Chain A
Amino acid sequence: MLKDATAIVGIGQTAFAKQLHETEKTLACRAVLAALDDAGIDPGEVDAFASYTMEETDEVEVAKAVGAGDVTFFSKVGYGGGGSCATVGHLAAAVATGQASVGVAWRSRKRGSGPRPWKNTAVQLPTPGQWTRPFGLLRPADEIGMLARRYMHEYGATRDHLFNVALACRNRANQNPAAIMYERPLTREMYMTARWISEPLCLFDNCLETDGALACVIVSAERARDCRQKPVYVHAAAQGLPAQHHGMVNYWNDDPLSGPAWTAARHLWKQADFGPADVDVAQIYDAFTPLVPLSLEGYGFCGRGEGGAFTEGGALEIGGRLPLNTGGGGLSEAYVHGFNLINEGVKQLRGTSTAQVPDATTCLVTAGEGVPTSAVLLRS
């Protein structure tokens, strides 16, 4: 069984900025070493690694630079930000089944100063590009904007609902000195008058473009008791690739608005000792604001079509029904393919977040919705 068999005992991150001068490889090493130092574990003990297929520094480079030991498990998860939580899930499974004892998951990315993947016209992106790109559906914002407009049309969600998501993330970033948007409050007027990126999505519906790296360390629950930090247990983990799913452009099935979150959620809750109503704080992947109401529905916090209304009345703020993305998320802390959401979940359950939810003991962390996804339930 995976349940509570492993724990995250170390987290590390670099600074976040529009442009950092060090290379992705250097940033990766810094984050990995910071996480191991946080855990109080010598890098020579690391025998497992997990990252994303889009990660450009491979295990060989990280392992030899940080001085890892003999590595017996390594894994890379696909589909961009959909893989974030699965890096933790894969390591939890490897440690729980005895294939390794100290796992490190990481993501390093210079998305702030580096190229935008959609600008590359030479390679086929991991989407059925021949059916979309010639028609000017070029960017993830366009692909998700298509679902967003349909969602708003079908269920009466409004731009105010999307603003509620952007505002909650920004408010938490304003409490987090490490966040890119720490000193930059957001108002409704700023949101409503912002330039469009892909109507119906405006600038503030889109995540940041950030340079930065993060990592976390996973060991068995038994070992975790001897580590430097309070253990944060991996209570459940799941990936989700629904039947007849098509990736980011999931337009060719019965209900394109029911994405991978629904699949991951079913498996996640099946393993768990608690349900959505018992989640104290959530870190929901927010590359684009509409992914949040969709995920709220997918993970069972509300019914079909109720995701917009769920955001009303400060529900996503501290003290609300479900405090969201308490470090600021991809929208306002940093966009590092969702890895900052994992580390923020750990901070909440250690009680060390800059926007601490009082007595939080359970946290849902999700990966990119829309693409084949993953999620973890953490508990203290």
Chain B
Amino acid sequence: MLTPVIDEDGAPFWEYAARGELRVQACAACGELRFPPRPCCPHCRSFDSEWRLMSGRGRIWSYVLPHPPLLPEYAAQAPYNAVLVELADAPRIRLVGNVVAAPGAPLNSVDPARLRIGAPVRVAFTEVDGVTVPRWLLERS
């Protein structure tokens, strides 16, 4: 499986994920959330930022079911789902992820027929090759 190629701006996201926290970069001056993380605030241009804790709740904005040709470890799980989750706390911020039956379950562990645009999900975390990544669990709607 691919692990994230982490850059300096993104590193805090993954450090907080390792502690089981979903945090998004916010401007320390004007408070505006931004994603992906970047050096300064596009609204007020401040270089001061903080990482704000999210509730971990969201909704499926869209999803795809990739089929081969794929990289080998993904092909082995295909078709799996890749979803875009809009965060309840910041609907303009949509995280790519996977809906799974349990945090450590494979990417194809949920029947695609259960996926719907708008379905509520909540975050969970699992470790993949030494890096903690977010996963998403369907909530009872």
Question: Are A and B bound to each other?
Answer: yes
Contact string against B for A residues 98-142, beta-carbon threshold 8 Å, 1 for contact and 0 otherwise? 000000000000000000100101001000111111111111011
Q: Which of A53-61, A192-200, A234-242, A279-287 contacts B (4 or more CB under 8 A)?
A: A192-200
Instruction: Assess whether B51 is interfacial by the CB under 8 Å rule.
Output: no
A136 near B62: Cβ-Cβ < 8 Å: no
Q: Which of A119, A135, A200, A246 meets B82, CB within 8 Å?
A: A135
Q: Which of B36, B74, B79, B128 meets A138, CB within 8 Å?
A: B74
Q: Which of B62, B69, B77 meets A147, CB within 8 Å?
A: B62
User: Which residues in A have their C-beta under 8 angstroms from that of B131?
Assistant: 134
A150 near B117: Cβ-Cβ < 8 Å: yes
Instruction: Assess whether A274 is interfacial by the CB under 8 Å rule.
Output: no
Are A142 and B62 also in contact (CB < 8 A) when A196-B67, A253-B92 are? Answer: no
B102 CB to closest chain A CB, in angstroms? Answer: 17
Instruction: Assess whether A145 is interfacial by the CB under 8 Å rule.
Output: yes
- Residue count of chain B within 8 Å CB distance of chain A: 40
A197 near B67: Cβ-Cβ < 8 Å: yes
A173 to B10, CA, bound (A): 45
Are A135 and B97 also in contact (CB < 8 A) when A119-B71, A200-B64 are? Answer: yes
B133 near A146: Cβ-Cβ < 8 Å: no
Instruction: Assess whether B22 is interfacial by the CB under 8 Å rule.
Output: no
B71 near A130: Cβ-Cβ < 8 Å: no
Are A153 and B117 also in contact (CB < 8 A) when A139-B66, A146-B63 are? Answer: yes
Contact string against A for B residues 76-89, beta-carbon threshold 8 Å, 1 for contact and 0 otherwise? 01011010100000
Most buried by B among A124, A133, A197, A251: A251
A351 CB to closest chain B CB, in angstroms? Answer: 41
Q: Which of A131, A153, A201 meets B96, CB within 8 Å?
A: A131
B78 CB to closest chain A CB, in angstroms? Answer: 8
Q: Which of A119, A135, A150, A201 meets B62, CB within 8 Å?
A: A150
User: Which residues in A have their C-beta under 8 angstroms from that of B5?
Assistant: 124, 129-130, 133
A349 to B121, CA, bound (A): 53
A:334-370 near B, CB below 8 Å = none
Q: Which of B70, B95, B112 meets A136, CB within 8 Å?
A: B70
Q: Which of A121, A131, A199 meets B64, CB within 8 Å?
A: A199
- A118, closest chain B residue (CB): B71
Instruction: Assess whether B47 is interfacial by the CB under 8 Å rule.
Output: no
A116 to B131, CA, bound (A): 26
A265 to B131, CA, bound (A): 43
User: Which residues in A have their C-beta under 8 angstroms from that of B42?
Assistant: 244
User: Which residues in B have their C-beta under 8 angstroms from that of A199?
Assistant: 64-65, 67, 79, 112
User: Which residues in B have their C-beta under 8 angstroms from that of A119?
Assistant: 71
A134 to B107, CA, bound (A): 11
A138 near B71: Cβ-Cβ < 8 Å: yes
A252 near B92: Cβ-Cβ < 8 Å: yes
A133 near B117: Cβ-Cβ < 8 Å: no
Are A142 and B117 also in contact (CB < 8 A) when A131-B36, A252-B35 are? Answer: no
B93 near A137: Cβ-Cβ < 8 Å: no
Instruction: Assess whether A254 is interfacial by the CB under 8 Å rule.
Output: yes
A134 near B64: Cβ-Cβ < 8 Å: no
User: Which residues in B have their C-beta under 8 angstroms from that of A136?
Assistant: 66, 70, 74, 77, 80, 82, 98, 107
Q: Which of B6, B65, B71, B96 meets A249, CB within 8 Å?
A: B96
User: Which residues in A have their C-beta under 8 angstroms from that of B71?
Assistant: 119, 121, 138
New contact pairs (8) apart from A138-B2, A251-B84, A252-B36, CB-CB < 8 Å: A131-B96, A134-B3, A134-B133, A136-B70, A146-B82, A149-B64, A199-B64, A252-B92
Query: What are 26 A-B residue pairs whose CB atoms fall within 8 Å in the complex?
Result: A121-B2, A121-B71, A130-B4, A131-B36, A134-B3, A135-B107, A138-B2, A139-B66, A146-B64, A149-B64, A150-B61, A150-B62, A195-B67, A196-B67, A196-B79, A198-B64, A198-B65, A198-B67, A199-B67, A199-B79, A244-B42, A251-B94, A251-B96, A252-B36, A252-B93, A253-B92
Question: Measuring CB to CB, which residues of chain A are less than 8 angstroms from any residue of chain B?
Answer: 116, 119, 121, 124, 128-139, 141-142, 145-147, 149-150, 153, 195-201, 244, 246, 249, 251-254, 256
Question: Measuring CB to CB, which residues of chain B are less than 8 angstroms from any residue of chain A?
Answer: 1-7, 10, 35-36, 42, 61-67, 69-71, 74, 77, 79-80, 82, 84, 92-98, 107, 112, 117, 128, 131, 133
| List of 7 A-B pairs having minimum Cβ-Cβ separation, nearest first | A150-B62, A199-B65, A130-B4, A145-B64, A196-B67, A137-B82, A251-B94
